[in-house]
Structure formats: C-alpha cells, structure tokens
Amino acid sequence: MDGLTINLAPAEGDAGGALVSAPDEARSAAQIDMPVDVAPARAPQTLWPQRLDIGWQCVSTPAGACASPADLPAHGWLAAQVPGTVASARRAAGLLDISQPPPLAFDDHWYRLALEGTGQRRLRLHGLATVAEVWLDGVRLLDSDSMFVTHDLDIELNGNATLALCFRSLTPALAAKRSRARWRPRLVSPPTLRNVRTTLLGHMPGWCPSVQAVGPWRPVELLGDAPHAFDTVDVSSRLDGDDGVVSLTLRFLRPQNDPNLRASFECGDRVSSLQWRDAYTLTGSVRVPCAQRWWPHTHGEPTLYSLTLQLDDGHPTSHVLGLIGFRSIEVDRGADGMGFALRVNGLPVFCRGACWTSADLVTLDGSEAQLRHAFTLARDAGMNMLRVGGTMVYESDAFYALADEYGMLVWQDFALANFDYPTDAAFSASIEREATQFLTRTRRFASLAVLCGGSEVDQQAAMFGLPPSMRAQPLFTERLPAIVARERSDVPYVSNSPSGGVWPFSTNEGVTHYYGVGAYQRPLDDVRRSQVRFAAECLAFANVPDDATLHDALGTIHLHDPRWKAAVPRDPGAGWDFDDVRDHYLQTLYGVEPARLRYEDPERYLDLSRAVVAELMGDVFAEWRRSGSTCGGALVWQLQDLRAGAGWGLIDATGRPKSALHGLAKALQPIQVLMTDEGLNGLDIHLLNERAQPLVAQLELVCLREGSVKVASASCEVELAPHGAQRMSAAACLGQFFDFTHAYRFGPRAHDVVMATLHDKASGEIVSEAFYLPERRVAERHDLGVSVAAERNGDGWQLVIEAKRFARFVHIVDTHYRAAHDWFHLPPNRRCVVPLIPLKPLISHDGFVAHASNGAFKADATYAAPAGEVRAVNAISATFYG
C-alpha cells in the first residue's frame, strides 16, 4: 500500500470520487479530566487530507441530558482514539467488561477536539455511528442518521475552535413510525432496528457479544490548507482485449487558475498526460499493453501495478496513489442455467473460504497487524474468498487492499439483513447514498468479486410462509442492481443470499446457505444428495479452541462453566445450541457418548470434539471439490470468533487457528488429492491442479492393517494439465479387487486406513496427501511408538515427529509456539518436520492480550526452547518433549 490508505469516498453532494488519506498511527488512551480549552491540534500543510486522530476526548451522558456542547460536564472525560468507538475508549481506560457490556446505543455520547487554523477548510467525516450531530463552536452544522455514509462540511477557521460530535440514543429512532413490517426476524433485537442504518453487530443475542457501535468509527479528516489540496482521487481499471486501461479523475478542493500546472499519470512504466475538464478537475487514462492479470492466489499471481501522479507547477512533485489490478469476473450458471459459479479471467474458479466477522468487534476495524494475520491464515489454508455479510459492516480500505495483495476474492453484501425494510423516500435516499459511496470508494479494488443485496432477507420472508409476491422488495431487485450497474458494472450482482430455486434457500439452485451437515444434523451423504450449487454460508459448528486459549482467556476448561456456554452460539428461541450439534456428530461418527465422555474424561472429550470438526470440514469440501460435483464454491460460517470460547470461528478470538482451519487446509490447496467413498463402486481418487503450470506426479496408493502392515499398494504416474482435474478409481489404480470401503463385507475388514500420496515427479516431494478411514470410531487406542525431537532451524525451531503406527489427528501443544501444521494424520515410519511459529501478543476482542502467531515473527537466540506434548486421538498417551 506504499504507506498510504486509499479511501474512495465522495464528497457531500458529489457523484463520487476517491479520497487518498495519510496512514493511521497507533494511539494509546487513558482516563483524563480536562477543561474544554485543551491544547489545539494543528495540521501541517499538505495536499492530502490530514487525519484528526490525536487529542480527542469523549464523555457519556444520559439520553437527552445535554442539548448542546454548552451543557456538557467538566469532568469524566476519557482520552479517545479516532477512528474508534466509545467501547474502544473505555477498553483502553480499563473500563469495559466485554462479558457484560453496557447498552451504549441507548445513552448519549460526546466527542470533542480543539482545532487551530485560519481560512476555509473542508471537514470530512467518514463514518458516525449512528444518530449523530456535528457542532463547531456551539453551532450545530450537521445531523446524520446512518453510520455508513461520509459527510463533508465546509467550515471557516478563525484561530481556535472546538469541534464536537454528539452520538444520540437510538431510542427515538427505534420508536419512529414507519411502514409496517411484513415479518420480524428473531435474530435481531429490537426488531425496529430495520429503521436505522447501523450494524447489527452488538444486537444479535445468541452469538454476538452486545458491544454496540457508537462513535466516530471511521476517520475524521481536515482538507484545505494548500493551494493544490486534493479533494477526491477516483481510480478505476478495465480490460480492453489484452490491454489494461486505468482511468483517473482528480478533483482539487479549490479552482486551479495556474496555467502552468501540468499533470501526468503513471501505471507501471506507462505514462499519460491528464487533461483539464474544468477548473477543479483533471482526467485521463493510461493503457498498459498486454497487461498481466490479477488472479486469486490459488490460480495465479495477484499481479498489481503501481500508480503514480506527477504534478508540475514549476516544482515537480510525485504522489503515490497505491496499486491496481486487471481482471474480469463473470457468473457461470451451468448447462441447466440453475447453477452459480465464478469465472475469473475466463477460467472457472472453485471459490472456498469463510464469512468475515470483524478483526476487532470493539473498534469495528482492527489494526493492519490483525488484518494481515487473518489474511495470512486464510491464504495458507487454501482459501481464496471471504464474504463480508450483511449483518457486519463495510470494511476499511486496508481490508480490500490486503485482499488485492493476498489474492483473496471478496463476496460483499450490502449492510442489509433479515428485515422487511422501509420503503419511504428518506430511507431509499439513504440507501442510494450509502451504496454509491461504498462502490465509489472501492472502485479500484480487483478483489471485489460479488455484490449481494443482503443476507437472508428473502429467506426470512419465505420461512414465514409468504408467497413471492408478498416478500418482494424493490430495494434488492431494482434499486441496488441499478446502482451496481452504474458504479461497478465489472462486478456480478446477486439479489440476496440465499436466492434461487423454489424456495430461496433451496440447495440445488442458485446460492444457498447449507447447514444440512451442521445445524440440521444430516448424515454426510446429504452433502451429495443436496446438490449444492454455491454455499455462501455453511458448516457452522461450535469449534473448540486449543487448551491454551481456553486457559489463558477463560481461566477454565470446565464444560459447564457459565463462561463456556456464554460463548457457544445458539439460535434465539431454540432448545439447543451448537455444542449439541457437534456432540451429535461425535456420537454418530466416532461412536462415543458425549455426555458420559465429558463427565469421565473432559480432556479427551475436547480433543475428539476438535478432531470430529476437522474431519467433517475436510470430508465435506472433498465432496464439493470432487470431479463431477455441481458445487461452484462454499464459504464456512465464520472465519474468526468475536469472543473467546467455542464459537463458530475457524480462528479463535486470540488469533490462534482452531482444528477446523487445519482440517480445511488439508482439502483446499491448489494442488490436491482427494478421496470419496462411492459405496459399492469403491473409492474414487480425485486429482486437482489449479495452477497455470502442468504437473507430472507419482500417485502412491497404500492400504494398512493395524496402522502399520501394508496389505495393498499401487503406484502410477499421472499428468495434470494446467487448471485440470482427473478422477480415477482406486480399484483401477490397484488393478485387482479390494474392498476399499468395506461395502461388500466379505468377512472382517482387511484394513483400517487408505493413503493416497501425490509426489512431484521431478523433486520427489509430497505435494498432497489424502486419507480414508473405512471405520471412523475411536474406541481403540494404541501405543503408536511416537518419537519427538525439537531442532533449531535457522532463527527458529521445528519438531521432528515419527511414529511406528498410523497416528490419527496429531496435535501439538506448546506454551510458546503454535505448529505450522496441526491436526494431521501421520503415516507410519515417515519423518515429519513441523515448523514452530512463535507466539506474540495480540489484543483480542475482549481486550485480553493473548499470544497470537504471525508467520513473519522470528524467534531469536533468547527465545524459550520448545516444550510441550504431541497427542493423537488413537494414542494411549501423549508424547512429551523439551
């Protein structure tokens, strides 16, 4: 990002434009008491907007207690970071208990900042949550009722001034009369939040902590103390045949009357002059011949070109505008017209990943380190898509820039979910502005792949029994698609998620939310029977974090502690929670009685709970990725937890990956071998190569009895074309009958594990491996003969693990490190090297400073040596090291 955060936000009343802002700086906050005449903040002269992020204070008052800044109390103010929220200011001051947060949205909250300067300025407020007023020196300049829009105010400074922001209680807005709703979802409380343009985070009991969004959650900026000060910079890209074309519109804050001012625009090594459209505006475009495409990282390089603006008024200056990519995206409906899949640059892409929540629920943003950490884990797991759902918020420019950099596609819902929304002119105008600003702000980002009207709106109405004619909302079928066509015609639009089919949530047509395996407790064969075309949500389980997180963040691993159950997701009004869902599969797949095991051996209960979810994740995605599958993609609900505990997240609230993420990583890689149980037809082996290069490999098939005795084996050479796939029968590979799936049951089962290993022909290295267990039950435990040694590896450490017998779901527990690979199967007599990644502090959603991991963080000579244990679910006992 070249040290800049790119914010595309149109000015007040402007049709659109991109604003380029200076980067954030981390600020600490503490409780202070200070009179109003605090030391003013001065912005240096610059062409770019200056962020007003230092010197803010905030105070909370009862609703309606202060009509204007003149009524504010002199004491009780907190130092506040902006962008930020009242919750983040309280967290920094040690005054927030995330387990019992106060109902912040129903009090009033005031922010203030002293300004200094002379002359005209433009105040830009990128996001005020939610019913807000803006005051300058006691004069009310603006009222806002949406947290999702940017406002511009032209002001005059004459020395010192005090800027005040008031965030009013939501109570009056929730009580306002609007059109009667045809249905009321149970997900959100109160249901009249349909009337208010605010996030549903903090208002969804059952799975989200009640941390409500209040405050200036997006940057506040000041523009205008330089002659050539920029107002907006709007950048977009498109493909024209093999060439890439970048268009730029630069708007100055003031008219430019200097006839000698010249400008040019550079993309890569191509330069083009900009032309004056009027006294405020420069426009132009650059053509990049034979432009390299931007790809999702699974299918190629996410190539980005640098953009630079040159201004010359006798003193040439160069301004970095960030990066941009070239790609095409279209929807493939399949031969029957009922499917949904994406083609990127003309190639089909199986989209897999997870639904995004928030890097930090308290700030609704997250630091660059937090974002990079999440993107790194998602990319390394083989994901290539994240979905920002309608119950969340529009993410920061840093999020979309990182998606570009990491080669991660983004499915973006508009911030609309579940409700029958108002239809009056004021609400429609607010949505028009919100959507236009968001699309303009994100126009430059290649990663934006799908735009969706909202989440589960049509589904809610259908489940209430309403016919299509009574549940239709023109907002999703007319207004939003028209805005998308105008502002980002390069991105496909979907009216709702889910949508398509006889019911909007039908699995065999269009986009669905698949919880057959999961909440509905269907058997694994339901994955094929449901004929999923694209699952924008799927596979919600109460995923158990590692012991380290349970101990560090909760102080307990007792399964009936109230803190455990508080973190387990549940649907409002249901008589079950997602612990019960996971327990169902423990019993049906592993043959254990969860309640009894939890009582007699809680540690094993937790390990088996982690293992069964890892197994389910891998098996379901193997089915969806297999040759002949109708599925074009699937996104797990959710990527990260919002609080510590057994939440839906694949990553826990401290930043540690859970077993579910490791299970997915075994099935989501670009070069992949998978196996599927075809019953009486035996075992199918599926070979996938999503890379642009061909692969010549050796496939080895081995069947073991008692985890160590080879009873059948075969080997053959395979050639995988670029972006190609093959399916072969294990029987054909072996060349003789063998009951791989134990479907014929001619006597006792001859084996307990099948291993398919793909070796690169040139290097001999293993590029992918898959395992099939004809019997999943975990009653038997053995002495596996596991040996573990910790070794230095450059600046870091690694473990060398070996077993004499097949080890099922190997798990590494270490106080100071996390394993780069975990929850994996280990064949007998094979040396397995597992790099260890040091843990470093990372603030979780509840303010707990946990040890989270980042691959860029290296141990030094003084860092603690590894010490821990290696477990396997079929081992009699753990093996200790260190």
CATH code for position 295? 2.60.40.10
Tokens standing for residue 466: 């309403």
Both 545 and 609 in a single domain? Answer: yes
SS3 category, 566: helix
Is residue 354 domain-shared with residue 444, that is, in the same domain?
yes
pLDDT surpasses 60 at 357: yes
Q: Are residues 240 and 351 in the same domain?
A: no
Q: Are both 572 and 642 inside the same structural domain? A: yes
Residue 381 identity (one-letter amino acid): A
Residue in 535, 496, 487, 291 with CA at minimum distance from that of residue 413? 496
Of residues 47 and 364, the one with the higher pLDDT is: 364
Residue-wise pLDDT tens digits, 110-149? 999 999 999 999 999 999 999 999 999 999 999 999 999 9
Cα 114 from Cα 37, distance rounded (Å): 7
pLDDT for residue 536 is more than 80: yes
* Six-digit token string for 759: 């070796």
Same domain, 136 and 176: yes
Question: Given 324, 346, 364, which residue is the final one in a domain?
Answer: 324
Q: pLDDT per residue over 728-784, tens digit each?
A: 999 999 999 999 999 998 889 999 999 999 999 999 999 999 999 999 999 899 999
Out of 264, 298, 324, a domain closes at 324
| Chain mean pLDDT for the chain | 91
* DSSP letter for each residue of 679-744: GGG-EEEEEEE-SSS-EEEEEEEEEEETTTEEEEEEEEEEEE-TTEEEEEEHHHHHTS---TT--S
Kindly report the CATH number assigned to the domain that includes residue 41. Answer: 2.60.120.260
Using one digit for the tens of pLDDT, what is the confidence trace for 680-700? Answer: 999 999 999 999 999 999 999
Assess whether 255 and 365 both reside in one domain. no
Residues 702 and 794 in one domain: no
Quick one: pLDDT at residue 227? 87
For residue 826, being part of any structural domain is answered with yes
Q: Are residues 660 and 700 in the same domain?
A: no
Domain boundary among 622, 642, 665: 665
- Quick one: pLDDT band at residue 855, thresholds 50, 70, 90? very low
Would you say residue 6 has pLDDT above 70? Answer: no
Same domain? For 112 and 205 the reply is yes
User: pLDDT tens, 278-298?
Assistant: 999 999 999 999 999 999 999
736 belongs to a structural domain: yes
Number of folded domains that form the chain: 5
Q: Does residue 343 lie within any of the structural domains?
A: yes
- Confirm if 264 and 373 have CB atoms less than 8 A apart: no
Q: Over the stretch 812-830, which tens digit does the pLDDT of each residue have?
A: 999 889 999 999 999 999 9
**In a domain? residue 446:** yes
Residue 219 has pLDDT above 50, yes or no: yes
The pLDDT value recorded for residue 558 is 66
The contacts of residue 56 (CB under 8 Å, 6+ apart) are 79, 80, 81, 82, 111, 112, 113
The yes-or-no verdict on residue 482 having pLDDT over 50 is yes
555 — pLDDT class (breaks 50, 70, 90) = low
- Residue corresponding to tokens 């290069």: 693
3-class SS at 518? coil
Residue 436 in this model has a pLDDT that exceeds 70: yes
Instruction: Tell me if 17 is assigned to some domain.
Output: no
Q: How far apart are the first and last CA of the chain?
A: 41
Residue 532 placed within a domain: yes
550: confidence class by pLDDT, cuts 50, 70, 90: confident
Do 255 and 270 fall into the same domain?
Answer: yes
Whether residue 253 is found in the same domain as residue 380: no
Residues 559 and 597 sit within 8 Å (Cβ to Cβ):
no
Q: Would you say residue 1 has pLDDT above 90? A: no
Q: Which pLDDT band holds residue 20 (cuts at 50, 70, 90)? A: very low
Please state, in angstroms and rounded to a whole number, the distance separating the CA atoms of residues 882 and 222.
56
Q: Is residue 224 part of a domain?
A: no
How many whole angstroms separate alpha carbon 255 and alpha carbon 279? 5
What local confidence, expressed as pLDDT, does residue 564 receive?
87
Question: Contact, 774 vs 740, CB < 8 A?
Answer: yes
Q: Which domain holds residue 768?
A: 671-772
pLDDT, residue 327, reads 98
If asked whether residues 280 and 400 sit together in one domain, one would say no
- Look at residue 32 in the predicted model and tell me its pLDDT: 35
Q: Residue 418 domain-assigned?
A: yes
pTM of the model: 0.93
pLDDT at 17: 37
| Cross-strand pairs, 685 | 675, 728
Percent of all residues in the chain with a pLDDT value above 90, rounded to a whole number:
82
